[in-house]
Amino acid sequence: MLDILMAGGWAMLPILICSAIALAIVLERCWTLRRSAVLPPGLGDEVRNWARSGQLDPAHLQTLASGSPLGELLASAVAVRNRPRELIKERIEDTGRHVVHGMERYLNTLGTIALIGPLLGLLGTVVGLIRMFMEVMRGGVGDPMKMAGGIGEALICTATGLVVAIPAYVLHRYFRSKVSGYVVEMEKQATALLDELTPVGVPATRARRSAVNTESSAG
């Protein structure tokens, strides 16, 4: 195997570097995007129970926000629970964008590797063919071995580029789909918490009055 890789010429080096980076990203994303790490079971129900019972101190919120992406999203809503519904919803949306960005970390790099893998293989193919023609120009076509080296280099680079690019593309699409599914479930949990904090139908002025009373009593 090592002899085959070395026969691919210098163009194999960037392809192998891309493969190592892609492997590291896949392993890291597989660990980070575990369902239990993103959407801890029962966390939404637990936070809604906290909201009903008033067990929401700063330590609770800090632990909740640092525990998981879902916890960070729910903690952002609970932190402004005495505000009008529209403001709580805006806070959820702002935090949600940051949470999604974190879950999609490195996926653009993986997609880039899937895109440039075949291009690097094509580059190696072109270099191999150029080498072959240069050998033919110097020594003629009498020795087939001179042509075989260039053709072999071209084929090896092409095959290696595709071997790196195809899994990278498939896994990139898989992780994107996984994140999209998580986002839908997180939206459901956030909406349920929003309804718990500000029941639908409560006038905004009443919510503001409640917030002012809470702040006055706290002062």
- For residue 211, the model assigns a pLDDT of 43
DSSP at 35:
H
- For residue 13, the model assigns a pLDDT of 86
- For residue 133, the model assigns a pLDDT of 76
| Cα–Cα dist 13/24, whole Å | 17
Model confidence, pTM:
0.79
Q: CA separation (Å) from 72 to 93, 127, 141?
A: 12, 51, 68
| Cα–Cα dist 103/144, whole Å | 53
Contacts of 212 (CB under 8 A, 6+ apart): none
| Cα–Cα dist 119/22, whole Å | 16
The full length of the chain comes to 219
| Cα–Cα dist 160/158, whole Å | 6
CA Rg, the chain, in Å? 28
- For residue 124, the model assigns a pLDDT of 81
| Cα–Cα dist 172/18, whole Å | 14
Q: What is the pLDDT along the chain (219 residues), one digit of tens a residue?
A: 556 556 656 778 889 999 999 999 999 999 999 999 999 998 888 888 887 777 677 777 888 888 899 999 999 888 888 888 889 899 999 999 999 999 999 999 999 999 999 998 888 888 777 777 777 777 665 566 656 666 766 788 888 889 999 999 999 999 999 999 999 999 999 999 888 887 655 444 444 444 444 444 444
